[in-house]
Amino acid sequence: MTTLLRPPVLGLAAVLMAAPAAAQSGPLAEKLALCAACHGEDGNSKMEKIPSLAGQPAFYVLNQLFLMREGVRKVEAMAAIVKDLKDQDLTDLSEHYAKLAPKRSDEPIDPELVKRGKELATQQRCASCHLPTLAGQEQMPRVARQRIDYLVPTLKSYRDHPRDGADTAMSQPVGGLHDADITALAHYAASL
Amino acid sequence: MSISTSYRRGFLFAGSLALVMAAGGPLAAQPGFSTMDKSNPANSKQDTNLKPIPTPPVAPSVDKLPLDKIKLPQGFKIEVWSSGHPGARTMVMGDKGTMFMGTRVIGRVYAITEKDGKREAKVLLQGLTQPNGLAFKDGSLYVFAINKVFRYDNIESKLDNPGTPVELTEAFGLPDTVHHNWKYVDFGPDGKLYVQVGANCNICEINPGVHGQIRRYNADGTGMEIVARGVRNTVGFDWHPVTKELWFTDNGRDWAGNGGPEDELNRVPKGQEGANFGFPYCHANGIPDPDVKRPNPCAGVQLPAALTGPHAAGLGIKFYTGDMFPKEYKNVAFIARHGSWNREKKFGYDVAIARTSGDKAKISPFLTGLLNEEKNEQYGRPSYVFQMKDGSLLVSDETNGAVYRISYGNPKTAGKQ
């Protein structure tokens, strides 16, 4: 499932080359330029399968960067980028993204799926951790306005296990969901 | 849209599934949880927004630790023993004095050593899936993560480069389901390695041949025997210094009310290895489960020696055998209560003591102050306890990534860094 989360190899190479040129000033700006190449200048990703970070709870981004740096959450494309980040960098980056405004991506959203997804979200009690707005809190990510093509493989990776080790709390709510349910949930979350 | 078409097919299928469920078919499940889980949060009358408490991956600096909030009985002192190692949980000590520390979500194992009078925590291993289970024997460190078992031989001479371990994952043959499956392990007085396998749900019918057990093995993973059954989620056990019987903490189910069922302190009576402790049918002092029912749910169940509080989350337990504390603490069990999440008014966040007498135990507070009941706020989560050679007691605090040292009496010993 991790392979699904990998951006095109060429894209990454371009990012790594473009990064120094895009640097504005200071070490944080340099890092942000690197992030922006995939996750969007304003933290809203325009790139397939790359998550938006705008409006994510700071704790969530900090935690995930940490888990990727330590190899608990394995995302190949991120490994080299997070490898040398210090705890303070993780904190600065997470605080930056928490302040940005989340926007919907330009993926087509199917209203019927949204309706079904809303029912499923109630059933699966997504709101009890992610809040009724699905804006997330603390270690729980914002899924509202997240990209559909990121949410679908992510939910599947919790269901089918590659990702559940880093976060055992998700193994139960997604257990037994059909692919179609997952798609519907993703459309609902993206529509908010 | 192909997505939409395939979805409609899925919806039809889901629709027919719903009919089966309505007819009481085998897949009937409470909404919101896996097909396995039988909890019904609506019936629990609890705030449905209760959620697990996160563990920060970054530890606060020493001056921000909640030491000034902690209260102890008269004559006891507390100080910071080590800090700056996020996710601090299990503690085992090597023969040469290295403290090994396990964690959960952050996936690290630390080695804490003393250098030039200062304690240093280094990341020994990382990237593991919840390596909470640590044991040390004959120079080797045993590391139990959810899906892996490793043995690092002669580890204390290789702290800078632990190298490739001996992998024992297959030999132990533990299930790789994640729910309640982070490990607690320890060598018993019989030389066997004791390992728990938690229930793979909050509340459900488990496969009793696999889940809800405490097992013991030879150190190489052979000779498995089941020591206790019907155990929901124990992540701490120890042996009574006199009777040598196994005592273990057990975390009660969630979403059945703020009042419990209460967590348990249990004892496996000598000669009754393999006894049944009731999960999922019978909880606490004989409370039938509201969701998973069967006739005579508590028949033949070994009831707890003591209740340890609603959602209190008793984790580590150690019987005190040292000489530093007053005599009345000899052979008393110290229990780190991690603190509740599935309860509107927080409970726990302390270290309690259990005075045992035969098959019963009496619980009373010891280390308190990390919970402000008025504000319903907590400042730290005691996870495990460890007795040092000098008789002082270490307590790990998972939230604050620190270890505190509790000492008694002689200020020279007590103040030693």
Residue pairs between chains A and B whose CB atoms are closer than 8 Å:
123
Q: Is residue A163 part of a domain?
A: yes
Q: Tell me, yes or no, whether A73 and A157 share the same domain.
A: no
CB-based contact, B10 to chain A, within 8 Å: yes
Q: Please state the rounded mean pLDDT for residues A47-58.
A: 97
Q: Tell me, yes or no, whether A149 and A62 share the same domain.
A: no
Of B14, B105, B128, the CB nearest to A178: B14
Identify the domain boundary among A98, A125, A157.
A98
Contacts of B107 in chain A (CB under 8 A): 67, 70-72, 166
Q: Tell me, yes or no, whether A74 and A159 share the same domain.
A: no
Contacts of A129 in chain B (CB under 8 A): 51
> Can you tell me whether residue A137 is helix, strand or coil?
strand
Minimum CA–CA partner of B128 in chain A: A72
Q: What angle do CA B295, B299, B300 make, to 5 degrees?
A: 145
Q: How far apart are CA A108 and CA B200, in angstroms?
A: 38
Minimum CA–CA partner of B107 in chain A: A72
What are B198-227's pLDDT values in tens digits? 998 899 999 999 999 999 999 999 999 999
Domain residues for the domain of A42 are 2-98
User: What's the structural domain count of chain A?
Assistant: 2
Q: Is residue A103 part of a domain?
A: no
DSSP 8-state code for residue A29 = H
pLDDT, residue A129, reads: 87
Residues B196/B182, Cβ–Cβ less than 8 Å: no
Q: How far apart are CA A41 and CA B337, in angstroms?
A: 45
Q: What is the 3-state secondary structure (H, E, C) of chain B?
A: CHHHHHHHHHHHHHHHHHHHHHCCCCCCCCCCCCCCCCCCHHHHCCCCCCCCCCCCCCCCCHHHCHHHHCECCCCEEEEEEEECCCCCCCEEECCCCCEEEECCCCCCEEEEEEECCEEEEEEEECCCCCCCEEEEECCEEEEECCCCEEEECCHHHCCCCCCCCEECHHHHCCCCCCCCCCCCEEECCCCCEEEEECCCCCCCCCCCCCCCEEEEECCCCCCCEEEEECCCCCCCEEECCCCCCEEEEECCCCCCCCCCCCEEEEEECCCCCCEECCCCCEECCCEECCCCCCCCCCCCCCCCCEEEECCCCEEEEEECCCCCCCHHHCCCEEEEECCCCCCCCCCCCEEEEEEEECCEEEEEEEEECCEECCCCEECCCEEEEEECCCCCEEEEECCCCEEEEEEECCHHHHCCC
Q: Is residue A24 part of a domain?
A: yes
> Is the pLDDT confidence value at B237 over 90?
yes
- ipTM score over 0.85, yes or no: no
Nearest-neighbour CA in chain B from A110: distance (Å)? 8
> Is the pLDDT confidence value at B404 over 70?
yes
Identify the domain boundary among A57, A74, A98.
A98
> Is the pLDDT confidence value at B385 over 80?
yes
Contacts of B129 in chain A (CB under 8 A): 72, 165-166
Residue B411 — very low, low, confident or very high, per pLDDT cuts 50/70/90?
Answer: low
The stretches of A100-175 forming alpha helices (DSSP H) are: 111-123, 127-130, 148-159, 171-174
Minimum CA–CA partner of B32 in chain A: A124
Between chains, do B6 and A180 touch, taking CB under 8 Å as contact?
yes
Q: Is residue A104 part of a domain?
A: no
Q: Is residue A106 part of a domain?
A: no
Q: Please state the rounded mean pLDDT for residues B344-364.
A: 97
Minimum CA–CA partner of B126 in chain A: A70
Alpha-carbon torsion angle B247, B248, B249, B251, nearest 10? -140
What are A12-49's pLDDT values in tens digits? 444 444 444 333 457 889 899 999 999 999 999 999 99
Residue B3 — very low, low, confident or very high, per pLDDT cuts 50/70/90?
Answer: very low
Identify the domain boundary among A72, A98, A124.
A98
Q: Tell me, yes or no, whether A132 and A182 share the same domain.
A: yes
- Which of residues 76 through 105 in chain B touch A, CB cutoff 8 A? 105
Q: Tell me, yes or no, whether A31 and A88 share the same domain.
A: yes
Q: Tell me, yes or no, whether A38 and A124 share the same domain.
A: no
> Is the pLDDT confidence value at B2 over 50?
no
Q: Tell me, yes or no, whether A159 and A79 share the same domain.
A: no
Q: Is residue A105 part of a domain?
A: no
Q: Tell me the sheet residues that pair with B364.
A: B353
What are A132-174's pLDDT values in tens digits? 999 999 999 999 999 999 999 999 988 887 776 667 778 778 8
Of B7, B48, B147, the CB nearest to A113: B7
| CATH for A72 | 1.10.760.10
pLDDT, residue B10, reads: 33
Q: Is residue A36 part of a domain?
A: yes
pLDDT, residue A12, reads: 44
Q: Is residue A17 part of a domain?
A: yes
Contacts of A175 in chain B (CB under 8 A): 33-37
Between chains, do B127 and A184 touch, taking CB under 8 Å as contact?
no
What are B168-199's pLDDT values in tens digits? 999 999 998 888 889 999 999 999 999 999 99
What are B286-317's pLDDT values in tens digits? 999 999 999 999 999 999 999 999 999 999 99
Full set of structural domains in chain B with CATH = 1-31 (no CATH), 84-384 (2.120.10.30)
Minimum CA–CA partner of B148 in chain A: A165
Minimum CA–CA partner of A68 in chain B: B127
Q: Tell me, yes or no, whether A80 and A14 share the same domain.
A: yes
More confident residue, B318 or A168: B318
Of A91, A161, A180, the CB nearest to B7: A180
Instruction: Enumerate chain A positions whose Cβ falls within 8 A of a Cβ in B.
Output: 59, 62-63, 66-67, 70-72, 87, 90-91, 108, 110, 112-113, 116, 122-125, 127-129, 138-140, 161, 164-169, 171-176, 178-181, 183-184
Q: Across all residues in chain B, what is the average pLDDT?
A: 89
Q: Tell me, yes or no, whether A7 and A94 share the same domain.
A: yes
Between chains, do B129 and A113 touch, taking CB under 8 Å as contact?
no
Q: Tell me, yes or no, whether A82 and A131 share the same domain.
A: no
Range B5-10, long-range pairs (CB < 8 A, 24+ positions): B6/A179, B6/A180, B6/A183, B7/A110, B7/A112, B7/A113, B7/A116, B7/A180, B7/A183, B7/A184, B9/A180, B10/A178, B10/A179, B10/A180, B10/A181, B10/A183
pLDDT, residue B30, reads: 40
0.90 exceeded by the pTM?
Answer: no
Between chains, do A70 and B126 touch, taking CB under 8 Å as contact?
yes
Q: Tell me, yes or no, whether A164 and A94 share the same domain.
A: no
What are B68-102's pLDDT values in tens digits? 999 999 999 999 999 999 999 999 999 999 999 99
Between chains, do A87 and B58 touch, taking CB under 8 Å as contact?
yes
Q: Tell me, yes or no, whether A84 and A125 share the same domain.
A: no
More confident residue, B32 or B334: B334
Contacts of B54 in chain A (CB under 8 A): 59, 63, 138-139
Of A112, A123, A172, the CB nearest to B34: A172
CB-based contact, B15 to chain A, within 8 Å: no
More confident residue, B10 or A126: A126
